[in-house]
Structure formats: C-alpha cells, structure tokens
Amino acid sequence: MPTTKQTAVKKPAAKSKVAASAASPTLHGLAPYVEKKKEEYMNENQREHFKEILKAWRLELMEEVDRTVSHMKDEAANFPDPADRATQEEEFSLELRTRDRERKLIKKIDKTLLRVEEDDYGFCDQCGVDIGIRRLEARPTANLCVDCKTLDEIKERQITGG
C-alpha cells in the first residue's frame, strides 16, 4: 500500500496481438481477448494471451516488492519518540503483511503459468468443464468454474457457520 511519500509509476506494457480496440478496459496493460467465431476453446492464441496477462501481473507484483524494500530502507529511522517509532513499525508491518499476501499470489501465478505450459489451463479442476474466457479475464488464476466455486463457497459457509 503506497504511502503519501510514494508515487506509483506504471510502465507501459506490451499490447497483446489478440487485443481488442484501444478503447477497451485493460487488465495489467493488456486488452481483453476477442473471441473469433467457431474458435476452439483454449487454443494457442488464448493460452498466449493469458500467459501474457499472468506474466504482466507477476511483474507488477515483483516491482511492488522492490519498491517496498527500497521504501523500508529509505524510511527506516530510529525515532526518539515512542509514538513515532510505533507508527513507523505499524506502517512497515502492514506493508509486510501485504507483501506476504502478494508473495502467495506470485506462487499461485507461477502454478497457473505451469498449467498454461502443460495445456491444462482453463478447465475446472472438479468437473472438467471450460471455465470460460470472461471468468479467466476477471480472475486469471481461477481453477474452478463458476458453478463449482459457488458450491465450494456454500459448503464452506455451512462448515464454518459464516
């Protein structure tokens, strides 16, 4: 989470070969995939598109890690006032917690990239149906179709009582 002293600098990402028009919303600098009529699901173009999205997302997360490390080095100070010291420690703690979540996400992205390479990407782990291009655009690391994910969430709520 950037502080007021930090400014987020976005680098322009490469445009996808199968990208939509420039007016379309982008995901990690890449336009949504435009499906062609009677196109086979998870063909080479689609796999390449999602590989580009996953790599761009991973790069963004890694850049954020680098920014955090340099920020913590630059901002680290031994304040004489205990309140100032506590504030800085809390800020660093929140930043590190965020980076830890992102580290886990990077691992998930790496696993997903492996699935793309093995031609196992885009299909539900539980029932085997197509997850769908739009769902994968929204959540590129998804490994369950909407129906199976919904059932999992219902089961989880029943078990946890939430």
The pLDDT of residue 10 is above 80: no
Which of these, 6, 158, 159, 147, lies nearest to 74 by C-alpha position?
6
- Is residue 130 a part of any domain in this protein? no
- Is residue 5 a part of any domain in this protein? no
| Averaged confidence pLDDT in the chain | 84
pLDDT of 161: 81
Q: Which domain CATH number covers 114?
A: 1.20.120.910
pLDDT of 1: 42
- Is residue 26 a part of any domain in this protein? no
Tell me the pTM: 0.75
How many structural domains comprise the chain? 1
- Is residue 93 a part of any domain in this protein? yes
The pLDDT of residue 131 is above 60: yes
In terms of C-beta density within 10 A (0-12 exposed, 13-18 middle, 19 or more buried), how is residue 26 classed?
A: middle
Domain region containing 60: 44-121
Q: Which two tokens stand for residue 86?
A: 């506590």
- Is residue 142 a part of any domain in this protein? no
pLDDT range class, residue 45, cuts 50, 70, 90: very high
